[in-house]
């Protein structure tokens, strides 16, 4: 076992001391000393410690073209057996990589882990599931309910990192699941499990473990109430891939989003539904998101957002009603508040809508969050439609970014979005004029170009 000691290091000037001080004696700043575990002898985890030992060979630069990708180290991908998850990961799990799965407590992270095991675990691909939160009988019960009983799945209820290291040496898993990183502890540190120091040091330890044994490690991290503190965010820079599990607690759908991926693209999403038998893939998310859409009601508009390689149809709802207070209320649900306020200002100034005496609400149905400016035109149209009390034809898809002068600006990949809408039975689409000439419309879809929001609203209302 490597000998470790604890040091306090100033995060401003790098000053080291063996004991905690409120004020750094070197730079005189307050509260800058951070606890750190320091290894006093070179680490030796398993047999393959060369990957991070400080031998001469390891630190000598090599020509990039001379580096061989050995089959165990290179980007060998293995399917998780869950197609949606594979796509988010960029084609499967990369051997020896470190993943972080973040999400609110109770969103379904542990459920997903077990479902990954169902397909992946085998004698040739052993998986070690470590839980610091649940006991073996609890996990067994859940596994039974989910019908998960693969060969090669080992379980250990443990929080001590060194005990986990011993188990890894014994079982040599191809994949190590840690549920959750906030319950793990390195005994050399005085601070409590879940503190920033513990969480960081434990992650660093798992990184070395992953490299030494060519084991992929999946860390579960709870998003804590305090937000960033000791939650998954403090670890994002230390891992290869960060996945976030999102969803509204009361809704059954769940979205997995990659926010960082060293082996694939980010912003891919996988859509699931949480049901009695755990998580099931939603094969057609656009249809799912539009289900129950009110037809012929003012204030509803449909746009298409690109989530990674996937186009997703979303319904935007707008509501305006006379305010009873001096200052009107503005509420944005599922989009950036400032963007909503900006769009309303454009509507007021460039199209003459008098919104100052109205409370206004924007909601993205289904609980997803719109991040793309390509949805601007639909948001604006939903508000205008409610204000004018005129419904937008439900066969229309609305695309376009809105500028401060009221101009509709070009968006990327309009054809992919329109094709998705055509698949869902939409027969017309309004796009920015600049996009129109380059679009070959799918059969049965009419394309209208608009250069300004005045033209857009004229077409729709
Ligand atoms: P869990 O995976 O324990 O969440 P996390 O590990 O992210 O804290 O999921 C807990 C929730 O999921 C719980 O509220 C019950 C629900 N659930 C189902 O609806 N169906 C199921 O089959 C399972 C296993 C859980
Ligand atoms: Mg859990």
Q: Quote the CA–CA distance of 79 and 136 in Å, as a whole number.
A: 26
User: For ligand 1, is residue 108 a contact (CB within 6 Å)?
Assistant: yes
- The Cβ-side half-sphere exposure at 363, using a 13 Å CA radius, reads 12
pLDDT reading at 49 higher than 50? no
Rounded to 5°, angle at Cα 97 from 93 and 103:
75
92-112 pLDDT, tens digit each: 998 889 999 998 888 899 999
User: For ligand 1, is residue 274 a contact (CB within 6 Å)?
Assistant: yes
404-415 pLDDT, tens digit each: 999 999 999 999
Least confident of 230-239, 268-277, 278-287: 230-239
How much distance in Å is there from the Cα of 78 to the middle of ligand 2?
24
Neighbours of 292 (CB within 10 A): 9
Mean pLDDT throughout 426-430?
96
Q: Calculate Rg over the CA atoms of the chain.
A: 26
pLDDT at 53: 42
Which amino acid residue places its CA nearest to atom 23 of ligand 1?
Answer: 278
363-402 pLDDT, tens digit each: 998 778 898 999 999 999 999 999 999 999 999 999 999 9
Which amino acid residue places its CA nearest to atom 1 of ligand 1?
Answer: 108
Record the pTM: 0.75
pLDDT band, very low/low/confident/very high, at 322 (cuts 50, 70, 90): very high
Q: Quote the CA–CA distance of 52 and 129 in Å, as a whole number.
A: 25
pLDDT reading at 54 higher than 50? no
Alpha carbon 287 to its chain centroid, in Å, reads: 22
Q: Which atom of ligand 1 is nearest to the CA of 112?
A: 2
Residue found by looking up tokens 């084991």 in the block = 215
Query: Rounded mean pLDDT of the chain?
Result: 87
pLDDT band, very low/low/confident/very high, at 30 (cuts 50, 70, 90): confident
User: For ligand 1, is residue 305 a contact (CB within 6 Å)?
Assistant: no
How much distance in Å is there from the Cα of 152 to the middle of ligand 1?
23
How much distance in Å is there from the Cα of 137 to the middle of ligand 1?
16
**Residue 94 · residue 215 · CB < 8 Å:** no
- The Cβ-side half-sphere exposure at 410, using a 13 Å CA radius, reads 10
Q: Starting from the CA of residue 116, give the closest ligand.
A: 1
Mean pLDDT throughout 237-246?
89
């Amino acid at each position: 076992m490597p000998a470790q000691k604890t040091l306090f290091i100033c995060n401003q000037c790098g000053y080291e001391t063996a004991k905690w001080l409120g004020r750094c004696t070197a730079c005189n700043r307050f509260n800058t000393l951070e606890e750190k575990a320091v290894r006093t002898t070179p680490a030796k985890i398993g047999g393959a410690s060369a990957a991070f030992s400080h031998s001469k060979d390891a630190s000598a630069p090599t020509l990039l073209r001379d580096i061989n990708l050995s089959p165990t180290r290179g980007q060998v991908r293995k399917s998780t057996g869950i197609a949606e998850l594979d796509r988010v990961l960029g084609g499967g799990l990369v051997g020896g990589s470190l993943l972080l799965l973040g999400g609110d407590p109770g969103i379904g992270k542990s459920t997903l882990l077990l479902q990954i095991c169902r397909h992946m675990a085998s004698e040739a691909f052993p998986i070690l599931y470590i839980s610091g939160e649940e006991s073996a009988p609890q996990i067994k019960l859940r596994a039974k309910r989910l019908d998960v009983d693969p060969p090669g799945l080992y379980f250990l209820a443990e929080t001590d990192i060194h005990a986990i290291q011993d188990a890894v040496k014994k079982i040599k898993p191809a994949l190590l699941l840690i549920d959750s990183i906030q319950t793990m502890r390195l005994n050399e540190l005085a601070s409590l499990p879940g503190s920033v120091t513990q969480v960081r040091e434990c992650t660093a330890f798992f990184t070395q473990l992953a490299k030494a044994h060519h084991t992929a490690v999946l860390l579960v991290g709870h998003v804590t109430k305090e937000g960033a503190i000791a939650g998954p965010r403090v670890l994002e820079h230390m891992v290869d891939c960060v996945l976030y599990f999102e969803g509204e607690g009361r809704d059954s759908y769940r979205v997995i989003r990659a926010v960082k991926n060293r082996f694939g693209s980010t912003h891919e999403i996988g859509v699931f539904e949480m049901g009695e038998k755990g998580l099931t893939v939603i094969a057609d998310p656009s249809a799912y998101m539009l289900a129950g859409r009110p037809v012929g009601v003012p204030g509803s508009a449909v746009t298409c957002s690109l989530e990674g390689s996937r186009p997703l149809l979303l319904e935007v709802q707008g509501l305006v009603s006379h305010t009873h207070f001096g200052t009107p209320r503005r509420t944005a649900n599922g989009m950036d508040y400032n963007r909503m306020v900006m769009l309303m200002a454009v509507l007021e100034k460039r199209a003459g809508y008098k919104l100052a005496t109205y409370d206004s609400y924007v909601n993205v149905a289904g609980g997803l969050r719109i991040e793309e400016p390509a949805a601007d035109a639909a948001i604006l149209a939903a508000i205008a439609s409610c204000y004018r009390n005129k419904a937008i034809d439900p066969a229309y898809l609305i695309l376009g970014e809105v500028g401060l002068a009221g101009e509709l600006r070009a968006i990327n990949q309009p054809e992919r979005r329109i094709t998705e809408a055509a698949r869902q039975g939409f027969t017309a689409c309004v796009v920015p004029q600049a996009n129109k000439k380059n679009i070959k419309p799918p059969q049965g879809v009419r394309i209208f170009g608009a250069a300004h929001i005045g033209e857009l609203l004229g077409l729709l209302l």
